[in-house]
Amino acid sequence: MAAKGGPLHAWHGHFEAKRVPEGVWMRCDGCGATLFRKQVEQNLSVCPECNHHMPLTAVERIRQLLDQDTFEDWFPDLQPADPLGFDDRRPYPERVRAEQARTGLNEAALVGQGFIKGRRIVFGITDSGFIMGSMGSVVGEKLTRAVEEATRQKLPLVIVSGSGGGARMHEGIYSLMQMAKVSTALGRFRGSGGLFISVLTHPTMGGVAASFASLGDIILAEPKALIGFAGPRVIEQTVRVQLPEGFQTSEFHLQHGFIDRIVHRRDLKSMIAQLIDYATP
């Protein structure tokens, strides 16, 4: 054994000095490859090995899709109430405050106006990082107001859905009502001749998938996104039928006509701009 201060100790000290800083590398959830984080970020958070589209926050999505510094946040002061006095592991107001501090968002949706390659649009997005992107009363109200503004200003509407939580149980029937409210506003928008482009990302589930996310004039999806109402185990137990493998992926939905096109993240901005040009005078 080498004495303290000998060659082995010197080599160990050199190794400690050269240790890679934490966070430089990351693992892909799709293929398990170890990736250089900066390279993944430059690739729009898509794995360069297997093309796995990693989740994005609402803010990251806005930076990728909208022209730089054009997003104008609408209704930022809307705050959820606690109509049921809901308390599971912690009181609902406390849970909301914790989520706000952790994500930097007031709620699971951002809406406003912005530009995509110079085209002015009304834009909305749900963030699965905030209570799984569940649709509470504030999310529904924000989206409804955004749709109404798109109707009033005669602007194209783009909503990016990334919600795995459906209706928010903490608000009970108030949450469920948002599905009908947003859908009704979209019906009026369509009646006025408006264009609604719905973009489905991983995951788009529950009440979001069962309402506004499925009502686009054009429905786009990212590759291998999970899209559906309930999880496969719940569906199998309900209908007692063996379901096909991958039946809730965007690829399966495209094959069966539920969505119009699967678009790689790097092409999404250009695709939306082209569709707006094709579909509006």
Task: Name 207's Cβ contacts closer than 8 Å, sequence gap at least 6.
Answer: 135, 166, 167, 175, 176, 178, 179
Residues contacting 182, CB < 8 A, separation 6+: 140, 143, 144, 147, 211, 212
Is 28 part of any known ligand binding site?
A: yes
Q: Determine if residue 127 is labeled as part of a ligand binding site.
A: no
146 has which bridge partners?
none
- AA letter at 73: D
What's the rounded Cα separation, in Å, for the pair 247 and 249? Answer: 6
Rg, the chain, Cα only = 22
* 47 labeled binding residue: yes
| Structural tokens at position 83 | 């109509």
Q: Is 143 annotated as a binding residue?
A: no
User: If we measure between CA atoms, which residue out of 69, 45, 68, 63 comes closest to residue 265?
Assistant: 45
Candidates 223, 207, 122; CA nearest to 173 is 207
For 192, half-sphere exposure in the C-beta direction (CA atoms, 13 angstrom radius) is 20
Q: DSSP assignment, residue 131?
A: G
Task: Encode 208-252 in three state secondary structure.
Answer: HHCCHHHCCCEEEECCCCEECCCCHHHHHHHHCCCCCCCCCEHHH
Which residues belong to the annotated binding site?
A: 28, 31, 47, 50
Which residues belong to the annotated binding site for Zn(2+)?
A: 28, 31, 47, 50
